[in-house]
Amino acid sequence: MSLGITQTKVRRTLGIGVAVMLGSVALPAFADEPTLSDEAFETSKQIYFEQCAGCHGVLRKGATGKSLEPYWKKTKPDGTVLEGGTLALGQERLEKLIAWGTEGGMNDFSEIMTEDEIRDMATYIMMEAPKPPEMSLAMMKETRKVYVEEADYPTEPLHGRNWENFFVVIERDVGKVAIIDGDTKEVLTHIPTGYAVHVIKASEHHNITEPETPGRFWYTMGRDGKMTKIDLWQTPDKMLVSEVKIAYDARDVAVSGDGKYVIGGGYWPPHFVIADAVTMEPLKVVSTRGVNVDGEYVEEARVAAIYTTPNQPTWLVSVKELGQMWQVDYSDLDNLRIDVIDSAKFLHDGFFDPTGRYFQIAANASNKMVVVDTDERKLEAMIDTVSKPHPGPGANWNDPKCGPVAGSTHLGTGAVTVWGNDPEGHPDNAWEICYVTETDGPGLFIRTHPNSDYVWADQTKHPDPEVRQAVQVISKETGEIVKTITITEQDGHAAVHFEFNADGSEVWVSNWNLGDSKEPNGEIVIFDAKTLEEIGRIKGLYAPTGKFNVHNRSNHVT
């Protein structure tokens, strides 16, 4: 089989002979082991980091996505031996999977990668995965930069705007965050942050303590492990006040309830880092490598979601591959207390119930929603769902039959699953499925607001462009879809993520450019939350994805 490589080949062996290693696995006939030129290998490695590692892992052992190891062998509890790998799939089959995606939630990359990049990626994942280096606390400290000293922080907003209705918007592929005035709809600034910021968090109103100005300071976490601090009281040109790099690949960040510390979680190295929230000086690093719920040691035990518990001086740290929630008490960093809560793999993202006591998180490859009682620091429940739940920031509302409920979209199927989440007032319905609404396609995000009659769900993971360019609106009263809204008909674009403004009168949806976003070719589409009619578009944005309203996020509005 020709791999289409015409440059001088640089041999990167798999460490042992392919024929010996694969045993009985049927393989395509290779004249030589899969190889790439140095340039193609490095390009593919970078694309893999940007597009693939989040689901499949840096070491390609799989998580939300399947294993992409050249060869794997597993023994089931009943003794059955399973074997497979990318070498068994072969070049042609891999190219088709990458280009076309799958119904199970894998993207169609034909609009994101060129034919040459797809060809080289197919070859790259048949080669042994390169292992990234480690990162010490001393190395992290060397990356810290301060742009505005604490002594120069203003004592009141310098711009005279209603900053509590600002939107902090991820401009994914250009490594920036836009600040938008929610009242005037003006884009105030584009702040350079880490690459492909995944999550942005602010200090919140909590029951245990209340920082002086909840929502003023925001912390971003880039896919490249760069954590930045933003001050919304500054003039737009000075809102970036400091930064530090805590990993090479990362996803989430959170601020302690007292506003003293910020925590960042690493995909690689697999660890979390606690830093001073004022100075951004890294203080403590804790490895998350360990033994998973199946009794197997996991080197790439990544930190996915991190959330501040509203009622306790703790963070919840989801260790994805271990199938564990770690409740980390920040009241004494020298004697760090960590309560390990076993649940299911692979923990990804979640949200609190309205009381702030129960945390609901997707173990998406296990097809479960996991519920943690943060007051008791123990597992409360596990809810079986359809394929691969993914609630994003989640949604809570009241159902006429089941009482208080929560819901999730799914990566693997077109559905919104709704379950009861009020064990005090509605114990018979608590942690039981209330209903499932079938949607047109799998999606990433679901969102609502206490003042809204509707729940919004996207379909971003569907391979059909017409489906992923539309969102669906579900009635809280009936659980039925009342409207399907096409956000865009532009090639290579998708509708993704929702956020309401402070009073719940508007819904903001991202028109996300999936391809090259070096130019501002994305936008936010705004709808009237009651009439569901479009009322405006904010242009001049670079691949906008997640949006975070200051009032809603700092006041725990879900």
Scan for tokens 């199946």, then name that residue: 294
Read out DSSP for 346-407? -EEEEEE-TTSSEEEEEEGGGTEEEEEETTTTEEEEEEE-SS-EEEEEEEEEEETTTEEEEE
**Cα four-point dihedral sign 25, 27, 33, 37:** negative
- State the Cα–Cα distance between residues 318 and 335, nearest whole angstrom: 20
| Cβ–Cβ under 8 Å, residues 361 and 379 | no
**Distance of alpha carbon 433 from the chain centroid:** 24
Structure tokens that stand for 73 in this block: 């062998």
- State the Cα–Cα distance between residues 298 and 284, nearest whole angstrom: 22
Environment class of 104 (CB within 10 Å of its CB; exposed 0-12, middle 13-18, buried 19+): middle
| Cβ–Cβ under 8 Å, residues 361 and 345 | no
The catalytic residue among 190, 206, 271, 390 is 390
The catalytic residue among 190, 198, 206, 348 is 348
**Residue 402 falls in the annotated catalytic set:** no
Strands of 79-208, DSSP E: 81-84, 145-146, 166-171, 176-181, 187-192, 199-202
Task: Identify any residues that bridge with 226 across adjacent strands, giving them in sequence order.
Answer: 245
- State the Cα–Cα distance between residues 251 and 227, nearest whole angstrom: 10
The catalytic residue among 106, 135, 221, 402 is 106
- State the Cα–Cα distance between residues 291 and 300, nearest whole angstrom: 11
Which three-class secondary structure state does DSSP give residue 553?
helix
- State the Cα–Cα distance between residues 390 and 361, nearest whole angstrom: 8
| Cβ–Cβ under 8 Å, residues 417 and 410 | yes
The catalytic residue among 52, 113, 227, 369 is 52
| Cβ–Cβ under 8 Å, residues 362 and 386 | no
**Residue 434 falls in the annotated catalytic set:** no
**Residue 106 falls in the annotated catalytic set:** yes
**Distance of alpha carbon 96 from the chain centroid:** 26
For residue 427, the surrounding DSSP H or E stretch is none
- State the Cα–Cα distance between residues 57 and 54, nearest whole angstrom: 6
The catalytic residue among 56, 410, 449, 551 is 56
| Cβ–Cβ under 8 Å, residues 316 and 309 | yes
- State the Cα–Cα distance between residues 129 and 318, nearest whole angstrom: 25
**Residue 198 falls in the annotated catalytic set:** no
Range list of H helices, 369-474: 465-468
Range list of H helices, 101-213: 115-124, 137-142
Active site residues: 52, 55-56, 106, 348, 390
